[in-house]
Amino acid sequence: MSTHESASHEGHGTAPFVLRVAPSRSRVLFVTPEIGDFVKVGGLGDVSAALPRALLPSCDVRVLVPGYRQLLARCGALQIVGRCEAFAALPACDIGKLETPDGLTVYVVLCPQLYDRDGTPYGDAEKRDWHDNDLRFARLSLAAAELASGQIDRDWAADVLHVNDWPAALAPAYVAWRGQGTPSILTIHNLAYQGNFSRDSLGRIGAPDSAYQIDGIEFYNQVSFMKAGIVYANQITTVSETYAREILEPAAGHGLDGLLRKRAKETRLTGILNGIDENWDPRTCTHLAKQFEPGDWKGKHANTESIRRDFGLAASRGPLFSLVARLVHQKGIDLVLSVADSIVSAGGQIVIMGTGERQFEVATQTLAHRHKKSVAVKIGFDEAESRRILAGSDFMLMPSRFEPCGLSQMCAQRVGTLPIGHKTGGLAETIDDGQTGFLFAEPSIGSLFGALCRAFSTYSSKRRLYQMRTRAMARNFGWEHSAVSYRQLYGNVAG
């Protein structure tokens, strides 16, 4: 018997906007497909673990997440607080509740038929999307709408429904279709992932036929979850101010730029920069080979030597570059592959960690085979090891073609590693060019190469290198400012 089966049961066109008077401590339902405490694929998992906690002192914020097999294996016993009945092709589900040791309440959608599988939240071990992702995330979204309205947990309802990315973006639509009054916010973490499905999904998810039109959820003859969120949410946010501007243009708008320009004119689009957890502190991080503080460059070098030993790299006086990212086209992996030989020829070494598109996994492994003592690759991800890699690196490569926010460049600076990033999205806002890292103007080999030349030049001048490291480590990327902005936004949308 699983842990949730043995728990006790304790209970069970756009609608007009209903104004509410929010209490001084707003009740917020934060809906996400992943959370770092239990299951994480990328930065969204980190944000979903950190932002609600940063809001807890001022908001009664609770998280809703699907009950994946990995999550249930780690979360322990759950209290069943209610049940969502079957709807259209969506199976019935129970809603469980737990509290983390530090006091964060997490609701879990218990639907083994949809979530009890090996793989990632989005696909199988072969990186193929689950065939029923429309049902899996419509079930999450409808549960969110019902829980927020007070229909599920008899002791709690939300003043604001805060949904994240396309897997939760259908929740504001269900709120509208059912005539509920819960105001909602959609945060777009990456507009390139939209949750587009065939028109057949319309009936399976229980959407009204009238919603399938240009001013609804229809998107190039498909049903778009992301567009549904943009259409029906009261407010849209992105994870940096720069990205909020970039998605208004066709190059980054992925077909939704026209609708987003309309939302911007209505003052319904806001950019709020993400933060990173305060435990990114090399003075206290227990994962490092040696803890260190600003100015203790021997301590940082001890981490560099540890990485070289762990990954089988040769002893070297040259710089160590790292790339810790999803191995996908967006992240500019092809650009790194194009300049890697030049980095090695100049005396540099590279450590790569990540998983993603098969072509890039193979290409990076081939690169490592060609430069056995200068390039190392690990296909996969390990949180503790990634921290050691960043702390031991001199420079971190982040040549993303677009980067809504990015967290790695902030984490790198906190451990005295200088990021080399394309001037886009959150990278443009968080890297001070020539002061705490290096920015380059275009996602091209030539532009990246120019930034690498500047990095090698800086490395050859220890005085300059140490000054930049010190400035980087002094940067504050905590969640405090972001939490204040979200708290104000909650108050605005709640009335």
Residue 20 has pLDDT above 80, yes or no: no
The neighbouring-strand residues paired with 96 are 80, 108
Closest CA to 14 of 235, 268, 234: 234
Residue 2 has pLDDT above 70, yes or no: no
Q: Which pLDDT score, from 0 to 100, does residue 56 have? A: 95
- CATH level 2 (architecture), domain 297-474: 3-Layer(aba) Sandwich (3.40)
Q: What are 195-252's pLDDT values in tens digits?
A: 999 999 999 999 999 999 999 999 999 999 999 999 999 999 999 999 999 999 999 9
Which pTM was predicted?
0.91
Give the span between the Cα atoms of 424 and 176, in whole angstroms: 35
How far is residue 396 from each of residues 409, 420, 437, measured CA to CA in Å?
8, 6, 9
Three-state secondary structure readout of 6-46:
CCCECCCCCCCCCCCCCCCCCEEEEECCCECCCECCCHHHH
Residue 273 has pLDDT above 60, yes or no: yes
The DSSP call for residue 28 is: E
User: Which of the four CATH numbers 3.40.50.2000, 3.40.50.1000, 3.30.160.20, 3.40.50.2020 does domain 27-275+480-494 have?
Assistant: 3.40.50.2000
Q: What are 362-382's pLDDT values in tens digits?
A: 999 999 999 999 999 999 999
All CATH 3.40.50.2000 domain ranges of the chain, comma separated, are 27-275+480-494, 297-474
Give the span between the Cα atoms of 302 and 49, in whole angstroms: 30
Closest CA to 324 of 275, 374, 391: 391
Longest dimension (CA), the chain: 67
How far is residue 150 from each of residues 83, 146, 163, measured CA to CA in Å?
12, 7, 17
Closest CA to 184 of 71, 268, 261: 268
List alpha helices for 332-441, DSSP H: 333-345, 358-370, 383-392, 408-414, 425-430
The neighbouring-strand residues paired with 107 are 64, 97
Q: What are 310-321's pLDDT values in tens digits?
A: 999 999 999 999
The DSSP call for residue 479 is: S
Give the span between the Cα atoms of 268 and 73, in whole angstroms: 39
Residue 461 dihedral angles phi and psi, to the nearest 5° = -110, 95
Read off the pLDDT band of 139 (50, 70, 90): very high
Residue 11 has pLDDT above 90, yes or no: no
Q: Which pLDDT score, from 0 to 100, does residue 5 have? A: 38
Q: Residues of 443-456 as b/e, b for ≥16 C-beta within 10 angstroms?
A: bebebbeebbeebb
